[in-house]
Amino acid sequence: MGVISDRSQYHRALAVVPSRRIRLNKVQREAEGYLELGLPHLALDVLTRLGDPVDFGPTTLYLWGETLRALGRYRDAIEPLQRASQADPENIHIWLALAWCHKRTGRIDLAVEAISSALVADPNEALLHYNLACYLSMSGEKNRALGHLSQALSLDPDYRRLIDDERDFDPIRTDPEFQALTSIIV
């Protein structure tokens, strides 16, 4: 942007910022609505109206990534989610979505990294410990998986209901320590 030479130019420039913000908020709400309705293709159409994703802030990047994830375009979703996580490292939802995409692209190691980063932001979130236990189980890290599963269950015993149907625990399901941990009645 060039130098603003007079007051009228200055006031016109200030007026553009709120109108862009209003438009951005409207598009974000519309895309979120389509995602909630299970219509990610319409959310993507709305988001593309904003132009080049390079200029998006963390909220819009997250929406863009979530939309691509909902469309099953996991590889495409990774870049906007990574950028969103760098811009907003405290948002655990971004890290969870990023880990989900890494898992579906066969990069369990990167899924573990993403959830580990989320735990820095919120070390007492049971969902993060549970997901990390799943990914660690899949990567053959039984002891770490059991530690995080134990932590998840101590933070929120309701996660116990999910364990029987969780295929991610299949690699360690027959392990005596896993069975001991998951058979405790609360």
Dihedral sign, Cα of residue 107, residue 111, residue 112, residue 117: positive
pLDDT tens-digit map of 63-98: 999 999 999 999 999 999 999 999 999 999 999 999
User: What is the per-residue pLDDT for 185?
Assistant: 58
32's CB contacts (< 8 A; 6+ apart) are: 43, 63
* Helix residue ranges, H only, the chain: 7-36, 40-48, 58-70, 74-87, 92-104, 108-121, 126-138, 142-155, 160-163, 176-182
Confidence band of 109 (pLDDT split at 50, 70, 90): very high
Average per-residue pLDDT for the chain: 89
User: What is the per-residue pLDDT for 17?
Assistant: 57
Domain boundaries, given as residue ranges, for the chain: 6-94
Q: What is the mean pLDDT of residues 108-112?
A: 98
Domain boundaries 6-94, CATH class: mainly alpha
Percent of the chain with pLDDT over 70: 88
Evaluate if residue 104 carries a pLDDT over 90.
yes
The rounded distance, in Å, linking the Cα atoms of 119 and 42 is 33
Confidence band of 14 (pLDDT split at 50, 70, 90): very low
User: What is the per-residue pLDDT for 25?
Assistant: 85
Angstrom distances, CA of residue 142 to CA of 100, 114, 134, 167, 176? 20, 19, 10, 15, 11
Which of 86, 80, 82 lies closest to 53, judged by CA? 80
Indicate left, alpha or beta for 6 from its phi (over 0: left) and psi (-120 to 50: alpha). beta
Evaluate if residue 151 carries a pLDDT over 50.
yes
Evaluate if residue 164 carries a pLDDT over 80.
yes
